[in-house]
Amino acid sequence: MTCATEFRWSSAAATDVGRVRERNEDACLDLTERGIWAVADGMGGHAVGDFASRAIVQALSGLGPPGSLDGALDDARTTLLTVNQALIDEAVRMKVRVIGSTVVAMLACERRCGCLWAGDSRLYLFRAGHLKQLTRDHSQVERLRARGLITAEEAKHHPAHNTITRAVGAATRLDLDVLTLEVGDGDMFLLCSDGLSNEVEDAGIAAVLAASAGDCAAAANELVQRALVNGGHDNVSVVVLRAEDIGGGSDMTLLNPEV
């Protein structure tokens, strides 16, 4: 028995190379009918960054139908571990230091969803007019901020703000953080690369999602445009989703947040 979602999901993805970079090393996955979404932000340059991000989304797109959310997350984790080793092997073959990519992936099952991630690509929840960042960046500045050594405002302009501490392909051991969430009617989710979060403040993201009236494509395109208007210093990619309850109520509580 497969794990069918009890929500009607709508979603849209948008990506842009930005105003500075020559290549788009981001990749998006938007499989609404199967309840799988992802954003990957490649690194390494010389065409290997986009190779890494594409390898991730292609592998996740091949996931089979799960029997449970836990099973889906386990399958996704196993898939990403396989990609991790493949990217390490490819780096050796190409004689480059690293072929890597961040990843944030979300999967829907019954009345819940789950997320797993490595790096600084993010998942946000927009519920009842409020925006909440669900993931925590795996980055040097986040480590400093969590220890109270710098403020959130200082983190935005810190010299190491682009230094991540985890990525697929970066090391033989890949640690993926996981969270699960009870979905509520009207919930909107945003997966994005740091090309959005570095250019658009949370208040701006919330304003776009609120103004979209649930139109995922309009929200996705507007978010990308705002990042470009604010400088577009990096590739920018977003996936926006909305859940419509077709089966009954939800207590909308956070479950097992391993963050």
- Alpha-helix runs per DSSP H in 104-168: 140-146, 152-156
- Pairing type for strands 188-192 and 122-127 reads antiparallel
Is the pLDDT score of 249 beyond 60?
no
Angle of helix 202-211 relative to helix 216-229, nearest 10 degrees, comes to 150
Side by side, which strands form the sheet with 236-245?
Answer: 7-16, 236-245, 188-192, 122-127, 130-133
Say how many C-beta atoms besides its own lie within 10 A of residue 58's C-beta: 12
Model pLDDT for residues 45-72, shown as the tens digit of each residue: 656 899 999 999 999 999 988 889 999 9
Say how many C-beta atoms besides its own lie within 10 A of residue 89's C-beta: 12
User: Residues with Cβ < 8 Å from 31, sequence gap 6 or more?
Assistant: 37, 61
Closest CA to 121 of 202, 170, 201, 192: 192
The more confidently predicted of residues 3 and 212 is 212
Q: What's the pLDDT band for 256 if we cut at 50, 70, 90?
A: very low
Instruction: Judge whether 28 and 237 are in contact, CB under 8 Å.
Output: yes
- What distance separates the 2 farthest-apart alpha carbons in the chain? 55
Percent of the chain surpassing pLDDT 90? 78
Angle formed at CA 106 by CA 41 and CA 13, multiple of 5 degrees? 60
Closest CA to 186 of 240, 243, 247, 113: 243
Q: CB burial class (10 A; 0-12, 13-18, 19+) of residue 146?
A: exposed
Assign a CATH topology to domain 7-246.
Phosphatase 2c; domain 1 (3.60.40)
Q: Report the distance separating Cα 198 and Cα 206, nearest Å.
A: 15
Closest CA to 13 of 227, 220, 222: 220
**Which DSSP helix (H) or strand (E) runs through 160?**
none
Query: Which backbone phi and psi does 90 adopt, to 5 degrees?
Result: -70, -35
Q: What's the pLDDT band for 79 if we cut at 50, 70, 90?
A: very high
Q: Report the distance separating Cα 42 and Cα 162, nearest Å.
A: 13
Task: Take residue 91 and report the two structure tokens written for it.
Answer: 């780096």
Average pLDDT, the chain: 90
Model pLDDT for residues 113-149, shown as the tens digit of each residue: 999 999 999 999 999 999 999 999 998 676 666 665 5
Model pLDDT for residues 146-201, shown as the tens digit of each residue: 665 555 655 566 555 567 999 999 999 999 999 999 999 999 999 999 999 999 99
Q: CB burial class (10 A; 0-12, 13-18, 19+) of residue 140?
A: middle
Angle of helix 48-61 relative to helix 69-94, nearest 10 degrees, comes to 150
